[in-house]
Amino acid sequence: MSYSIVGLLAIAIQLMISHETLFGKSNKNDLIQQSYRGFLLAVLVYYITDALWGFFYDLHSVKLIYTDTAVYFAAMAASVLFWTQCVVYNLEEKSPLGKFLFYTGRIIFTFQLLAILVNFYYPILFSVDEAGGYHAHSARYATLFVQILMFLLTSIYTLSVTNKTEGREKRRYRIVGLFGLIMSLAVAAQVLYPLLPLYAAGLLLGCCMVHTFVVQDQKTEYLRELEELVQIDRRKDVELNSAKDLAFKDPLTGVKSKYAYLEKENQLNQMIKEGVALQFAVASCDVNGLKMVNDTLGHRAGDELLRSACKQICDAFAHSPVFRIGGDEFAVILDGGDYEARHVILTSFKELAEENLKEKKAVVSVGMSDFILGQDSNVQDVFARADANMYEHKKLLKSMGADGR
C-alpha cells in the first residue's frame, strides 16, 4: 500500500498543474502542443498504473498485477515516444540526430507493444507467479536501457542546441535537457530497484520543473507579447482616430470637413437604399464677397470673414452638423429638433443676412430642401435643390446690394 502513495500524489499534482493542457482546448495543427499533451496523458496513465500496482500487489491478484504491469510498460514507452517528439518539434532543427530520435522513438514504442504481446505467451518482460510475486526478465532490462539511452540522447540534443540560443529560450532548453538527465537517472534506479516507484518520482520532479520553468514561462512570454500587440493596436487606433479627426475637421473654421460630409452622405444614401423612412433636410450656405475680400484685403481678412460667417451658420443650426465643403461653401444636414424648426430657422437666418448686409458684416446666402421619401434616390438630389434655392437667395441679396463671389 505504501508503494501507491507516490503514484497517488503524482496523479493529484499532475492534474493540478497540467489540467489546462490535458483537458483544455488545443490547436490540432500545433505539433508541439499535441506531442506535449500526449506525453502528459501517457505520464498520467503511468501514474495510475503505478498507484494501482501497489494495491494489486498487496492483494496478490495475479491477473490484476499482470494487466496493470502490461499497461505500465506501454505507458512508459508512450511517454518516451511523445517526449522525444515534443523535444524534436520544439527545437525545430532538422539535424540527423533529431531525425534519428524522432523515428527511433516510434520504433521503440512499436517494439515495446510487440514485446508486451509476446509476453502473454512467453515471458520476456516480466512474469507474475501464482502467489502474486513479480519477476523481471531480460527484455525488461533491455527496454529500460533503451529508454535511458533515449532520454540521454534527447538531453544531449537539447543542450547542444542551447549553445545557439540566448535569453529566456536558452533557460527553457536547459530545463528540457535537465529533464532528460533526471529521467535517465530515474530509469537507471528503477532497473536496480524494481519494487520502488523511482520512475514515477523522476517523472513527478521532471514534469514539475518543465511546467514551472518551460510551460509557465512560455505562457508568460506569450501574454507579454500579446499585451505588446494590444498596446500597438491601441496606439494605432489612437493614431488612426487622430488622423481621422484631422481629416474630418476643417482646420480653419473647426467645423466638419468635406470628407466628413461625404461619409455622412454615404451613410444616408445606404439608409435610403434600404428603404428607411428618413426625415432630414439639407441647407446649402455660401459666404458672399469672399473673393473680393481676398483680392482687396488679403487672405487673412478672407479667413476672418469665413470664421465669422461659419459662426453665424453654427449659431443658427445649433443642433445639426455643419460641414465646410468648399472654399466659401458650407452644408448643414438638419434632423431632430432643427428639422422640426427648419422653416423658423431658415426665416431667421435670411433676416440675419439682410441685417448683416445693411451693417456691412459677413453675409451668408442660404437655401434649404427637404428629403422627399420615394422621390429622392440620394442626398445629392436634396442638396441640388437646396443649392438652387441658395443661388436664388444670393441673387436676391445681390440685388439688395450684397457683394458677389
d(CA 283, CA 313): 10
Residue 244: predicted pLDDT: 66
In 3-state terms, what secondary structure has residue 134? Answer: strand
Residue 323: predicted pLDDT: 95
Residue 404: predicted pLDDT: 47
Residue 18: predicted pLDDT: 87
Residue 90: predicted pLDDT: 82
pLDDT tens profile 361-370: 889 999 999 9
* Domains recognised in the chain with CATH numbers: 4-230 (1.20.1070.10), 258-399 (3.30.70.270)
Residue 277: predicted pLDDT: 85
d(CA 338, CA 326): 23
Contacts of 111 (CB under 8 A, 6+ apart): none
In 3-state terms, what secondary structure has residue 330? Answer: strand
pLDDT along the chain (405 residues), means of 10: 79 88 78 89 92 84 91 92 89 78 90 94 91 87 91 90 81 89 91 84 89 83 82 76 72 90 93 90 92 86 92 93 93 92 94 89 93 92 95 90 53
Residue 339: predicted pLDDT: 93
Which residue in this structure is represented by grid cell 507493444?
Answer: 113
d(CA 134, CA 213): 38
Residue 403: predicted pLDDT: 54
Q: CB-based burial of residue 263 (10 Å sphere; 0-12 exposed, 13-18 middle, 19+ buried)?
A: middle
- 281-287 sheet: strands from edge to edge: 322-324, 329-334, 281-287, 364-370
| Residue closest to 203 by CA, chosen among 56, 11, 3, 19 | 11
Please give the grid coordinates belonging to residue 356: 448683416
Please give the grid coordinates belonging to residue 44: 498520467
Q: Strand 322-324 relative to strand 364-370: parallel, antiparallel, unpaired?
A: unpaired
Orientation of helix 96-121 relative to helix 138-162, angle to 10°: 160
